[in-house]
């Protein structure tokens, strides 16, 4: 399947539709059924000790699957997360950006499933693993 939104399209979509959080995410690379997204670390993501918080990691996985989906089906703001499973495996490195490598495993008519590995930049062992299901509303 062809990608119908590129990095700039997705970044622009995020800025328009989710202005509160658009600065949290940098779309680094889009490809067929996959995406790489960066969370530039900022004070608001941190927990005591300087590591990135769980909700920030969740948000990174969630937005990555969403954007990987939109890259394939176009700007449908109404797709919604229905399920997430996440394993927090290691403490993120202090003061270090997170990188999310995300792949769509299924892109159906009503459901899409994506999986993510999240790394502290420059580190080989993943900080977290997540899988997400999105429900795609019918066209009207």
Residues at the interface with a copy of itself (CB under 8 A) = 17-18, 20-21, 44, 46-48, 53-56, 58-59, 62, 77, 80-91, 105-106, 110-111, 113, 115, 117, 125-126, 129, 131, 133, 135
Minimum distance of a copy of itself from residue 138's CB (angstroms): 9
Minimum distance of a copy of itself from residue 85's CB (angstroms): 4
In angstroms, the Cα distances linking 112 to 31, 65, 94, 125, 132 are 16, 9, 33, 27, 8
Residue 96 or 126 having the CB closest to a copy of itself: 126
Minimum distance of a copy of itself from residue 105's CB (angstroms): 6
Minimum distance of a copy of itself from residue 43's CB (angstroms): 8
Per DSSP, the three-state class of 99 is: strand
**Alpha-carbon span 50 to 70, nearest angstrom:** 32
Residue 36 or 129 having the CB closest to a copy of itself: 129
CA atoms within 13 A on the CB side of 87: 7
Residue 89 or 94 having the CB closest to a copy of itself: 89
- Element at 118 (helix H, strand E): strand 111-120
- Element at 47 (helix H, strand E): none
């Amino acid at each position: 399947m062809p990608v119908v939104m590129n990095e700039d399209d997705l970044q622009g979509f995020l800025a328009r539709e989710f202005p509160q959080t658009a600065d949290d995410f940098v779309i680094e690379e889009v490809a067929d059924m996959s995406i790489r997204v960066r969370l530039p670390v900022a004070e608001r993501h941190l927990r005591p000790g300087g590591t990135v918080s769980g909700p920030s990691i969740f948000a990174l996985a969630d937005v990555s699957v969403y954007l990987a989906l939109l890259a394939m089906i176009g700007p449908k703001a109404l797709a919604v997360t229905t399920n997430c499973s996440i394993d927090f495996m290691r403490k993120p490195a202090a003061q270090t950006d997170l990188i999310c490598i995300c792949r769509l495993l299924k892109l159906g008519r009503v459901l899409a499933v994506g999986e993510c590995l999240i790394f502290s930049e420059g580190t080989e062992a993943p900080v977290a693993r997540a899988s997400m299901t999105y429900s795609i509303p019918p066209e009207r």
